[in-house]
């Protein structure tokens, strides 16, 4: 006979079923397997819910990251206008100093 005798300090009570001290090992293993399967289903259901509700900023799309890496180019005329404006600011600062 395959009976399991456990010491008195071992508590093998679960939420749904409470076992006596001398119960067949196979029965305990079968009950544990069903409990593990039930808990895994509950965990997977919760994980599925949390994945759907994502907080924070949404992830960037692939097309958005490609456009931001593009180098911006100024025309020669625009660079000359910026340089002239900077020279004018320098001259004003030098004059007031």
pLDDT digits (tens, 9 = 90+) for 20-62: 555 688 888 999 999 999 999 988 888 776 655 667 777 776 5
Provide the residue ranges of all domains of the chain, joining segments of one domain with +. 3-52
Residue 6: predicted pLDDT: 55
Backbone dihedral region for residue 91 (phi beyond 0: left; psi -120 to 50: alpha; all else: beta)? alpha
In this prediction, residue 93 has a pLDDT band, given cuts at 50, 70 and 90, of: very high
Are 28 and 4 within 8 A, CB to CB?
A: yes
What's the distance, Cα to Cα, between the start and end of the chain in Å? 104
Quick check: pTM over 0.85?
A: no
Listed in sequence order, the DSSP H helices in 1-97 are 25-52, 62-68, 76-96
């Amino acid at each position: 006979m395959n009976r399991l005798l456990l010491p008195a300090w071992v508590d093998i009570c679960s939420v749904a079923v409470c076992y006596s001290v001398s119960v067949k090992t196979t029965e305990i293993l079968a009950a544990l397997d069903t409990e593990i399967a039930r808990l895994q289903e509950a965990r997977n259901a919760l994980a599925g819910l949390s994945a759907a509700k994502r907080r924070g900023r949404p992830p960037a799309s692939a097309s958005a990251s490609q456009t931001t890496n593009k180098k911006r180019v100024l025309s020669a005329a625009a660079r000359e206008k910026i340089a002239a404006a900077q020279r004018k600011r320098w001259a004003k600062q030098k004059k007031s100093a």
